[in-house]
Every structure is written in structure tokens, then in C-alpha cells.
Structure 1
Amino acid sequence: METRYEEIARDLRERITSGEYAPGAALPLMRDIAAAHGVSDITVRKAIGLLKREGLVEGRRRAGVFVRLHPDRLRLTVRQRQVERDEMGYYSGPEVQHWRAIPWDGEQQTRVQSTPAPDDVAELLGVPAGQPLTVRRRIIGDPHREEHRQLADSWIPEWITEEVPALTGDTGPGGMYDRVEEWAGRPLRWREEVSARMPSPLEAEALAMPKTGVPLLRTLRVTYLPKRGRSPQRVIEVQDIRMSAAQFAVGYPVTRAASARWPVSPASSDYYQAPASE
């Protein structure tokens, strides 16, 4: 059963999604909402807080509560997850070819540090949790649209920094991927895992995101050298990429696996029929 504040939040949510309260419009004053529903200001404040966490509204100091332009109502920029290349090296999809590194403090464009990696990154790299690794941190964005940014942390295991010392400093034209391919004499491959979570305050600030109510998209890109001869496949980097879910969607082709290759065999069972119990 819904609580009173959940009922009020549902009423306001329906008014927002129906367009009665348009993007940018102010909600009624808290005391007016409380009077209309016969509740206290505290109950209304809890309802508004729920809508803020959902990303539907935002508070403006000394101005009130306003309807936010929600991702469902705008055409997001679709990030095509594919690797392309131009005269400056590899880049991730045609929509970001013109993006550039943004200085962190007016000078540094890449911060190189040694610090423990997140647990999931350490697992992908096959190293113990808490082990310090080299990480290359960058903010990359559209020079013409301040809100179009991404954070990119490249976590690199110790064995590859020993083989390619440039990865701990200035990697030069083409970046770290060119240096590794030059050393290995064969092409890199990539795969990605996409998830979502709420940003930390520092991530929200770096990505020019609202402090509440908007999740970020997180892509873990695993870079590896494929197996060759007796040399096993090895992961040389995990790149932790974060971007605002209020600005971007992730797009990728859906391919047919070998089992779905055309022409197909006629289906022989009913998709909606439960399998017989044994």
C-alpha cells in the first residue's frame, strides 16, 4: 500500500509526464500542495524528494521546484560503440571524432597515477583487489558543447608498463594503443560491458551533470592482445568510461550468430507454451 507521500509523488509524476507541468515549469508552492492533499509540509517535502531522486524535478535556491527536461523527452546523442581511426589515431565512433581532451587544471590533459583499481576492474585485469596499478585519467569532450563530456580512466597492469614504459608518461602521437601495437607487432582487440549507476559528486561535477536524479552510463572497455602461436590472449588495459545518461544513449549493431544464419529452419515449438515437466 502506498504511503501518503508516495500518493502525492504519483499524482505529481502523472501531471509531469502528461505535460500538465511542462519542462521548465514551476510546481505549485509546497504549502499549496499540502493544502490540496490535506497533509503536512513534511509529507510534501518527502514526495518532492522522491521526484528529485527520479530526476523529474530540481530545486532552485529561493525560486522553488521546477520540472526538469527528462531524458525520455529528448533525443539523446547515440554513441556508436565501434573503433575507428584517423590521422591522430583510434577513436570511438564517428560522433566523437572531433572531441578533444579537456585540461583538468588548466594544464594537465592526462593525469597518470598509481592507485588501487576498482574491484571489477581488478578482476577483469586478473590482479588482486587493492593492488596499485597505473591509471591514465582524462576528461574528453566536445569543444563546442560543454555538457558533452566523458570521463575515461585507463587501468594498466604492471607487466605491460614494464614492457612499454611510455604508458606511464607521454605516449606521443597515436596514444597508448599505437605504442602497444608497435611493441606487440599485432593489432589489439576490444570488447565492452555497459551498465548504469549514480555518479559520485566529483563525477557529476566533472561531467557537468545535476547532483541528483541522473544516472551515468558506465562502459568498461577491455583491451587485449589476441592469442598468437604459443602466446596466450592477454588483457593490456581496462578503460572505465563514464558519461551522463541524460545526454547519451549507447548504440550498437545486432548481429546474427551462426545459429540464426539465413535461411533458417522452421520453428518446431511454441514460444509461449511452457515446457513439459519431467
Structure 2
Amino acid sequence: MSSRYEEIARDLRERIASGEYPPGTALPLMRDVAAQYEVSDITVRRAWQMLTREGLIESRRRAGMFVREHPDRVRLTVRNRQMERDELGYYSGPESQHWRALPHPDGEETRVTCAPVPADVADALGVEPGTELTVRRRIVGDPEVPEHRQLADSWIAEWVTEELPTLTGSTGNGGMYDRLEEWEKKPLQWREEVSARMPSPDEAESLLMPQIGVPLLRAIRITYFAGRGHKSERIVEVQDIRMSAALFAVGYPLSRGSSAKWPVAPASSDYYRASEPTD
């Protein structure tokens, strides 16, 4: 059985979804909501906390609670995940060609350090979680639209920093990927895994996101040199890319697998015959 505050949250959620309270609209004052539902202010506050965690409403200091712009109601920028190239090097998708490295609060564009690798990144690199690896941290974004940005942490495999130590410093025109391909004399390849999670306070601040209610889109990009079979791949880097799910969606083509190669055998040859009207 639902508690009273959950019932109030459900009612307000439905009103927001129906457009009765459109984005940017102020919700009624807490005392008015409490009187309408015949509950205490504490119960209303708990309903608002639930909707705030869902990203539907937000508190504006000294102004009250407002309906937030939400991904379902605003046009998202679709990030087409594919590797492109121009005279400056590789970039991930045509929407981000004009994006540039942005300075961190301390003024640096790229922070290069050694740090304990996160567990999921460690798994992709085949090392123990917490292993100290070189990581290149950047904020990349649209110089004309401040909130259009992403965090990109590039975790570099141990064998790469041992054999190509210059990657721990400035990588020059074309960046790390050009240096790797020049050194190996082979083309790099990439694959990605996309997921979502809530941001940390530092991530939300760096991405100019609200502290509550908006998740991250997270793409883990694995960069590798192909070998003779999957097990002989040489993974050179795992990049942890994060962006606001309130601003971006991920787009990609769906290709036909070998089992769906055209022409296909119909699932049922009786469909049209069964659909024909009978006398």
C-alpha cells in the first residue's frame, strides 16, 4: 500500500506529464498543497524530495519549487558514436567536430597524473582494481555553448607507457592516437559500451549540471590494435566519457547481422492468405 507522500508524488507526476504543470511552471506553495491533500508540510516535503530525485522538479532559492526541463520534453542533441577525422586528428562523431579542450578550474586543459584505476576500467584493461595507471583527464566541449561538454578520462595501459613514455606528456598535433599509429604502423580500432549513472558532486559541477535528479550518460571506449583473434588484441587505452543525459542522447545505426541477411525467408507464408476476406 502506498504511503500518503507517494500518492501525492504520483498525482503531481501525472500532472507534470500531462502538461498541466509545463516546464518552468511554479508548483503551488507547500501550505496550499498540504491543505489540498489534508496532510502536513512534512508529508508534502517528502513528496517533493521524491520528485526532485527523479529530476522532475527543482528548488529555486526564495522562489519555491519549479518543474524542470526534462529530456522527454526538450530536444536532445544526438551524439552519433563513430570515429571521424580532420586535420587536427580523430574525434567522436560529427556533432563534436568543433569541440575543443576546455580549461579545468586551475587553468590546465589536460591533467596527466597517476591514479588508482576504477574497477570496471581495470577489468577492460586486464589489471587489478586500484592499480596505479597513467590517466589523461580533460574537459571537452563546445566553446559557444558552455553546458555542451563532456568529461574524458583516458586510462593508458601499462605496456604503452613503458614502450612510449612520451604519452605521459604533451602529445602534439593529432594527439595520442596519431602517436600510437605512427609508432605501431597499424590503424587503431575502437568499441564502446554506453550506460547511465548518477554524477558525483564534482562531476555535476564540472559539467554544469544540477546536483540532484539528472543522470550521466557514460561511454567506456576501448582503443586497441587488432590481432589474430579477440584474445590477441592489444588494448592501449580505455576512455571514460561522461556527459549530461538531460542534454545528450546516443545514436547509432542498427546493422543487419548474418542471420538477418537479405533476402530473408518469411516467418510465415500463410499470413496474407489468412488475412484475405472469406465469402
Quickly name the TM-score band, shorter chain normalised.
over 0.9
Q: CA deviation at 1:106?
A: 5.3
List alignment gaps of at least 5 residues for structure 1. Answer: 270-278
Equivalences for residues 203-242 of structure 1 within 5 A: 203-227=203-227, 232-242=232-242
What residue number does 1:31 align with?
31
Q: Is 1:94 aligned to 2:103, yes or no?
A: no
- Figure out how many residues of one structure are paired with residues of the other and give that number: 269
What residue number does 1:82 align with?
82
In the TM superposition, structure 1's runs of 4+ consecutive aligned residues that sit over 3 Å from their partners are none
* Aligned counterparts of 1:99 and 1:47: Cα–Cα separation in 2: 40
* Aligned counterparts of 1:151 and 1:176: Cα–Cα separation in 2: 17
Q: CA deviation at 1:266?
A: 2.6
User: What is the letter of the counterpart of residue 12 of structure 2?
Assistant: L
Look up the SS of the partner of 2:136 in the other structure: strand
User: What is the letter of the counterpart of residue 254 of structure 1?
Assistant: L
Deviates more, 1:122-131 or 1:101-110: 101-110
User: What is the letter of the counterpart of residue 61 of structure 2?
Assistant: R
User: What is the letter of the counterpart of residue 98 of structure 1?
Assistant: H
Native 8 Å contact 1:114 1:135 kept in 2? yes
Percent identity (aligned): 71
* Aligned counterparts of 2:248 and 2:259: Cα–Cα separation in 1: 32
Tell me the C-alpha RMSD between the 2 structures: 1.6
* Aligned counterparts of 1:256 and 1:24: Cα–Cα separation in 2: 43
Q: CA deviation at 1:228?
A: 5.4
Look up the SS of the partner of 2:242 in the other structure: strand
* Aligned counterparts of 1:259 and 1:147: Cα–Cα separation in 2: 42
* Aligned counterparts of 2:266 and 2:24: Cα–Cα separation in 1: 53
What residue number does 1:130 align with?
130
Look up the SS of the partner of 2:232 in the other structure: coil
* Aligned counterparts of 2:220 and 2:239: Cα–Cα separation in 1: 6
User: What is the letter of the counterpart of residue 148 of structure 1?
Assistant: H
What residue number does 2:273 align with?
none
* Aligned counterparts of 1:171 and 1:199: Cα–Cα separation in 2: 29
* Aligned counterparts of 1:105 and 1:29: Cα–Cα separation in 2: 38
List alignment gaps of at least 5 residues for structure 2. Answer: 270-279
What residue number does 1:162 align with?
162
Q: CA deviation at 1:232?
A: 2.6
What residue number does 1:46 align with?
46
* Aligned counterparts of 2:266 and 2:20: Cα–Cα separation in 1: 50
Look up the SS of the partner of 1:256 in the other structure: coil
* Aligned counterparts of 1:105 and 1:68: Cα–Cα separation in 2: 27
* Aligned counterparts of 2:105 and 2:213: Cα–Cα separation in 1: 27
* Aligned counterparts of 2:13 and 2:266: Cα–Cα separation in 1: 46
* Aligned counterparts of 2:234 and 2:84: Cα–Cα separation in 1: 22
Look up the SS of the partner of 1:193 in the other structure: strand
Look up the SS of the partner of 2:47 in the other structure: helix
What residue number does 1:56 align with?
56
What residue number does 2:149 align with?
149
* Aligned counterparts of 1:98 and 1:179: Cα–Cα separation in 2: 22
